C-alpha cells in the first residue's frame, strides 16, 4: 500500500460512500408503499437503481441529452409508483426527492470531522447541485466545498468530473486523493492522475485483483487514522 499521507486534498464520492443510498431509498419506498412486503420493496428498489444506471449510461453514450439527477430520480419515482400502484401525487413527489434525504453511514460524520481538521475536504458527486446541497444538510456532512457533475453535464466516471476536483484543488493530481466505495469510480479518478483510496461499504463495488489503488480501508476511521498519522493541525 502506497503512503498517501502526502496528499493535500481529500475528495469523497458521496452516494454509497458517505451515505447509504440503497438503505435510504428502500426506506422511502417502504414509506410510500407501506402494504408492500420486503420482497416487493426490494424489487422496486432494484427497478429504481437500474433506471438510474441505465439513463446515466444512455447519456454517456450520447443516446440522451444530459439530465440531472433530480430529473432521473423523478422518472424513477414515477416508475416505482406505477409498479406499486401508487396514485397520490404528494406521495410520489416526496418519493422523487428521497435521494436528498439519505442517511450517513455510522462513521461518516466523525470521519469527515477528523479529516477536515487536517485537509481540505471536497465532495464530488453525480447528484445535482441542489440535491447535493440538501443531502449534505440532511446527513450533516462537513465539507469545505462540493462539486457536481452537473457543472460539466456528464456523470462519473467521465474524466471531466474528476478534473473539476483537480481544478478546484489547485495542485497536481497526485496530491489529490479520491475516496470511494466503488472501484469503477476510483478507476475513473486514477485515469486523471489522482491518488485513490477504496473504503468498504455494503453494496459497493469492491476492487478486483488487478486494481492498484493507493489504499484500501475497512471504514472511514481506518482511512482517517492512516492519513492523519504524524500530522498536526
pLDDT tens-digit series, residues 14-56 = 999 999 999 999 999 999 999 999 999 999 999 999 999 999 9
5 pLDDT band, cuts 50/70/90, is confident
Alpha-carbon span 74 to 15, nearest angstrom: 17
Q: Residue 3 has what pLDDT? A: 72
232 pLDDT band, cuts 50/70/90, is low
4 pLDDT band, cuts 50/70/90, is confident
Residue 203 or residue 24, greater confidence: 24
230 pLDDT band, cuts 50/70/90, is low
Once rounded to an integer, what is the mean pLDDT over residues 198-218? 96
Q: How many CB atoms lie within 10 A of CB 185?
A: 26
The C-alpha cell 406505477 sits at 82
Edge-to-edge, what's the strand order for the sheet holding 145-148?
145-148, 120-125, 9-12, 176-180, 195-199, 215-217
- Which stretches does DSSP call E strand in the chain? 9-12, 120-125, 145-148, 176-180, 195-199, 215-217
Alpha-carbon span 91 to 28, nearest angstrom: 10
Is the pLDDT at 1 greater than 50? The verdict is no
Q: What is the DSSP letter of 70?
A: H
pTM of the model: 0.95
Q: Does a cis peptide bond (omega within 30 degrees of 0) precede residue 157?
A: yes
Q: Residue 9 has what pLDDT? A: 96
Contacts of 10 by beta carbon, 8 Å cutoff, 6+ apart: 115, 119, 120, 121, 122, 177, 179, 227
Query: Domains in the chain, ordered, with CATH?
Result: 9-20+103-228 (3.40.50.1000), 21-100 (1.10.150)
Contact 99, 21 (CB under 8 A): yes
pLDDT tens-digit readout, 162-174: 999 999 999 999 9
pLDDT tens-digit readout, 71-104: 999 999 999 999 999 999 999 999 999 999 999 9
> Dihedral, CA atoms, 138, 139, 143, 149, nearest 10 degrees?
-80
Amino acid at each position: 500500500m502506497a503512503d498517501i499521507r502526502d496528499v493535500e486534498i481529500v475528495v469523497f464520492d458521496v452516494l454509497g460512500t458517505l451515505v447509504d443510498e440503497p438503505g435510504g431509498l428502500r426506506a422511502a419506498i417502504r414509506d410510500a408503499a407501506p402494504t408492500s412486503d420486503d420482497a416487493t420493496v426490494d424489487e422496486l428498489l432494484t427497478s429504481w437503481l437500474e433506471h438510474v444506471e441505465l439513463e446515466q449510461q444512455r447519456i454517456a453514450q450520447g443516446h440522451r441529452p444530459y439530465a440531472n439527477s433530480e430529473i432521473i430520480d423523478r422518472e424513477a419515482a414515477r416508475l416505482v409508483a406505477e409498479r406499486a400502484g401508487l396514485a397520490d401525487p404528494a406521495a410520489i413527489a416526496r418519493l422523487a426527492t428521497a435521494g436528498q434525504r439519505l442517511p450517513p453511514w455510522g462513521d461518516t460524520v466523525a470521519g469527515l470531522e477528523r479529516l477536515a481538521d487536517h485537509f481540505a475536504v471536497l465532495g464530488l458527486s453525480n447528484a445535482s447541485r441542489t440535491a447535493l446541497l440538501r443531502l449534505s444538510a440532511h446527513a450533516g456532512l462537513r465539507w469545505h466545498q462540493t462539486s457536481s457533475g452537473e457543472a460539466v453535464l456528464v456523470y462519473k466516471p467521465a474524466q471531466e468530473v474528476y478534473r473539476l476536483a483537480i481544478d478546484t484543488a489547485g495542485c497536481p493530481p497526485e496530491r489529490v486523493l479520491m475516496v470511494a466505495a466503488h472501484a469503477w469510480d476510483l478507476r475513473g479518478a486514477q485515469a486523471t492522475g489522482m491518488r485513490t483510496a477504496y473504503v468498504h461499504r455494503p453494496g459497493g463495488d469492491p476492487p478486483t485483483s488487478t486494481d492498484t489503488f493507493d489504499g484500501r480501508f475497512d471504514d472511514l476511521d481506518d482511512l482517517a487514522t492512516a492519513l492523519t498519522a504524524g500530522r498536526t493541525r
